[in-house]
Amino acid sequence: MATSNPYSWLTKSLDTIKKAHWYRQVKTIDSLPGSTININGKTLINFASNDYLGLAGDPRLQQAAISAIKKYGTGSTGSRLLTGDRPLHRELENAIASLKQTEDAIVFSSGYLANMGTIPALVGGKDLVLGDEYNHSSLKNGAKLSNATIIDYKHNNMTDLEQKLQENRSKYRRCLITTDTVFSMDGDICPLSELIELSQNYDCMVLVDEAHGTGVMGKNGAGVVEYANCTGKPLIQMGTLSKALGSLGGYIAGDKILIDYLRNRASTWIYTTGLSIPDTASALEAIKIIKNEPERRAKLWQNVAYLKEILKNFKLLPSESAIICLPLKSAEEALKVAEICQNEGILAPAIRPPTVPTSRIRFSVMATHDYEQIKMLEKIVNKIQ
């Protein structure tokens, strides 16, 4: 009998991906995270990091993790509801609630898991999820897992959202509106006040994903909710510990009753091991630094302004954040420009479909970049004009 290979389709599928210039590979970084990093023995200026405040390599976060490990070990050994809970977890949750000015918070093992657990806990088969079309994968997949009806509205388009609410809201029991606050692959932000007003008119819950807002946006680094003067509004605020906080993990901040409910219903919190000890301790230290060192945020915004100045002859995508995108015609061209950058000692990734509808080079700015490092972008500007 001829043996067929049930895995042969994988090769074909990968070939298709390669032909479309959509193929991806990991780049191994062999150094501390920071404004410069080493890849394949070469030092590159890093415009590809989510570590906006430069905390992932900070000695204080390292020390916090080491001290916590010495006291509690490395793993948390079980679900938070069984043997996985440590005093550090609650300290971190209180610190997040204090930063966000909410009654309480709950930490998950990643931001992705926070969305994948929270959305299905809040809505089900009788309910509606209305999400921005550019939302992060974790919001989209969380909605799918919930069995709710999913309708996407046009990116940041509140007229379209209202129309979809008008047409559909009454057919469903509960409705949840979901949006990134800072759109991770574009750098623009959601019109939060308007969105909250609509949610109140149509009796909807709102989940905002502050992955790229926390630590960065707002006077105290509490995120776009603070930046847009929406502190205290009835929101479900999600975020991650793995971007500006330089650690790993995710959270939901909100009313006490919401958090208590999630501890009882969010399966990605109940049926997974509690956040690891070093991740918990370093995130807690990061929140202290975010509160005590506002000068880091000030430097970040100076750097963002300087980078925009250097790229002023290009038509950039609209951005109010530390993410600046240079749109390009094709995936091929984006890859070419990323290669030019890399040859000039600059790491800035090509972002391509299917992650985004149109290709671009994405620069993310750090507080720990100095002007000389940003000025290096002038060299590439001259080469691609």
Ligand X SMILES: *Cc1c(COP(=O)(O)O)cnc(C)c1O
Cβ atoms 125, 105 nearer than 8 A:
no
Q: How many residues bind ligand X (CB under 6 A)?
A: 13
Return the range that interacts with ligand X (CB under 6 A); candidates 6-14, 58-66, 107-115, 218-226: 107-115
Query: Which SS3 state, helix, strand or coil, does residue 254 take?
Result: strand
| The one catalytic residue among 49, 76, 110, 184 | 184
State in angstroms the smallest separation of the CB of 211 from ligand X: 3
Cβ proximity to ligand X: between 51 and 180 the closer is 180
Instruction: Report the C-alpha gap between 222 and 232 in whole angstroms.
Output: 12
CA neighbor of 135 nearest in space, from 32, 27, 210: 210
| The one catalytic residue among 243, 247, 364, 369 | 243
Which amino acid does the sequence have at 268?
A: T
Is residue 134 within the footprint of ligand X (CB under 6 A)? Answer: no
The correct pick among 112, 134, 202, 269 for binding ligand X (CB under 6 A) is 112
212 counts as catalytic: yes
State in angstroms the smallest separation of the CB of 250 from ligand X: 5
The correct pick among 80, 86, 89, 136 for binding ligand X (CB under 6 A) is 136
Is residue 352 within the footprint of ligand X (CB under 6 A)? Answer: no
Taking residue 162's Cβ as centre, other Cβ atoms within 10 Å add up to 16
Return the range that interacts with ligand X (CB under 6 A); candidates 105-113, 150-158, 219-227, 371-379: 105-113
Q: Is 358 exposed, middle or buried (0-12, 13-18, 19+ CB in 10 A)?
A: middle
Return the range that interacts with ligand X (CB under 6 A); candidates 74-82, 94-102, 108-116, 163-171: 108-116
| The one catalytic residue among 140, 212, 299, 369 | 212
Per-residue binding letters, 156-185, with ligand X (x by CB under 6 A): ------------------------x---x-
Instruction: Report the C-alpha gap between 114 and 107 in whole angstroms.
Output: 8
**β-strands 360-364, 175-180: how paired?**
unpaired
CA neighbor of 216 nearest in space, from 305, 62, 320: 320
Please give the structure tokens belonging to residue 174: 């509960």
Cβ proximity to ligand X: between 364 and 373 the closer is 364
Phi, psi of 72, deg, nearest 5: -120, 0
Is residue 362 within the footprint of ligand X (CB under 6 A)? Answer: no
321 counts as catalytic: no
Which amino acid does the sequence have at 325?
A: C
Cβ proximity to ligand X: between 135 and 303 the closer is 135
Cβ atoms 192, 235 nearer than 8 A:
no
Is residue 46 within the footprint of ligand X (CB under 6 A)? Answer: no
4 counts as catalytic: no
State in angstroms the smallest separation of the CB of 180 from ligand X: 5
Taking residue 335's Cβ as centre, other Cβ atoms within 10 Å add up to 18
The correct pick among 250, 254, 274, 349 for binding ligand X (CB under 6 A) is 250
Cβ atoms 68, 278 nearer than 8 A:
yes
Please give the structure tokens belonging to residue 224: 């776009």
Is residue 138 within the footprint of ligand X (CB under 6 A)? Answer: yes
Per-residue binding letters, 228-247, with ligand X (x by CB under 6 A): ------------x-x-----
* Contact positions with ligand X (CB under 6 A) in 182-221: 184, 209, 211-212
State in angstroms the smallest separation of the CB of 215 from ligand X: 13
Is residue 110 within the footprint of ligand X (CB under 6 A)? Answer: yes
Is residue 53 within the footprint of ligand X (CB under 6 A)? Answer: no
* Nearest residue to the partner ligand X, using Cβ: 111
Question: What's the start-to-end Cα distance of the chain, in Å?
Answer: 61
Cβ proximity to ligand X: between 172 and 352 the closer is 352
Longest dimension (CA), the chain: 71
Return the range that interacts with ligand X (CB under 6 A); candidates 109-117, 193-201, 225-233, 371-379: 109-117
Spell out the residues 6+ positions from residue 335 whose beta carbon is closer than 8 angstroms to its own: 21, 350, 352
Beta bridge partners of 189: 182
Q: In what order do the strands lie in the sheet with 36-39?
A: 36-39, 42-46, 346-347
Cβ atoms 178, 129 nearer than 8 A:
yes
Cβ proximity to ligand X: between 177 and 380 the closer is 177
Q: Is residue 37 within a helix (H) or strand (E), and if so which, with residue range?
A: strand 36-39
Active-site residue list: 184, 212, 243
Contact residues for ligand X (CB under 6 A)?
A: 110-112, 136, 138, 180, 184, 209, 211-212, 240, 242, 250
